[in-house]
Amino acid sequence: MSVLIMDYTLLDLFTSLVISATAIDSHNQPHPDSCALSNSGTILFGMNDGLRDMIKRIYSLHYRSRTGKVNNSTTITEAVGIWQDLATWQPPDALPGDQYPELYDSYTSALFTWLYLILHPESMCDEKVQSMVEKGVLAMSAITVLELLPFLLIPLFILGLASVQDEHRDFIGGLLDHIEEHTACDEVEVYRTIVERSWESQDQGLPRSWEWIQ
Ligand SMILES: *[C@@H]1O[C@H](CO)[C@@H](O)[C@H](O)[C@H]1NC(C)=O
Ligand SMILES: *[C@@H]1O[C@H](CO)[C@@H](O)[C@H](O)[C@H]1NC(C)=O
């Protein structure tokens, strides 16, 4: 029987880096000490399974392309490379508990959505984006284990920004409420604020309503 260690470092990292849209600076990266634990075979969700690196690469590309540090052709080349890596990436074989497959599915749907939006920022309503949102919503709706819910903030954020259909928005808003009520997660409000602001922009017909890095 595996010991359940809940470590939300991935969420802390995402909040401090991606939500506040700071530059990735290799000198002041938080370096969570996950190596010691990886030897014992413990899965720290997101930290030693490849997800953290994938998120950092996508975020770095997003940030650099929006702040003019890379041109369009470099953006496309890099995005295609990350896309291929994400398409072949697999969750660890030995998962620490139930509902991890759905949790990983929600992340891959969200990360594909994010990459797609970096490449096609005006194409949020595309069938391709909306079917990825649908897939992510389905995966998230299967997750009921309380300890896993805080991890859903990241896919909820990305898939929330890409949501245009009422049923998706209602689901995402409801799940944010649920996490706020049932976990000790302080970050919900900041995630919700950005997502709801994007919905207002989308409803007003503003282009790139999903974009939170200006
Ligand atoms: C884009 O940037 C890369 C790397 O700086 C450079 O090699 C390439 O020539 C640039 N492409 C265009 C079309 O400006
Ligand atoms: C470069 O990318 C920007 C932002 O995605 C876009 O607005 C612009 O049209 C692109 N330019 C070219 C030449 O593709």
* 29 occurs within a structural domain: no
Residue nearest to atom 3 of ligand 2 (CA): 72
* 1 occurs within a structural domain: no
Burial 47-67 (b: 16+ CB within 10 A, else e): bbbebbebbbbbbbbbbbbbe
What is the reported pLDDT for 134? 98
What is the reported pLDDT for 150? 95
Instruction: Kindly state if the Cβ of 119 falls inside 6 Å of ligand 2.
Output: no
For residue 181, is pLDDT > 90? yes
Question: What percent of the chain is modeled with pLDDT above 90?
Answer: 75
* 100 occurs within a structural domain: yes
Which atom of ligand 2 is nearest to 71's Cα?
1
* 68 occurs within a structural domain: yes
The total number of structural domains in the chain stands at 1
Average pLDDT rounded to a whole number, residues 2-12: 73
Domain that holds residue 77: 8-15+44-204
Within 13 Å, how many C-alpha atoms sit on residue 214's CB side?
4
* 213 occurs within a structural domain: no
Instruction: Kindly state if the Cβ of 96 falls inside 6 Å of ligand 2.
Output: no
For residue 28, is pLDDT > 50? no
Q: How far is the CA of 49 from the centre of ligand 2 (A)?
A: 34
Q: What is the pLDDT of residues 118-129, one digit of tens each?
A: 999 999 999 999
* 76 occurs within a structural domain: yes
What is the reported pLDDT for 41? 57
For residue 5, is pLDDT > 60? no
Other CB atoms within 10 Å distance of the CB of residue 186: 10
Q: How far is the CA of 17 from the centre of ligand 2 (A)?
A: 25
Residue nearest to atom 13 of ligand 1 (CA): 73
For residue 36, is pLDDT > 60? no
What is the reported pLDDT for 123? 92
Average pLDDT rounded to a whole number, residues 139-163: 96
| Residues having CB within 6 Å of any atom of ligand 1 | 71, 73-74
* 36 occurs within a structural domain: no
Q: How far is the CA of 71 from the centre of ligand 1 (A)?
A: 6
CA distance 183 to 40: 28
* 31 occurs within a structural domain: no
For residue 33, is pLDDT > 80? no
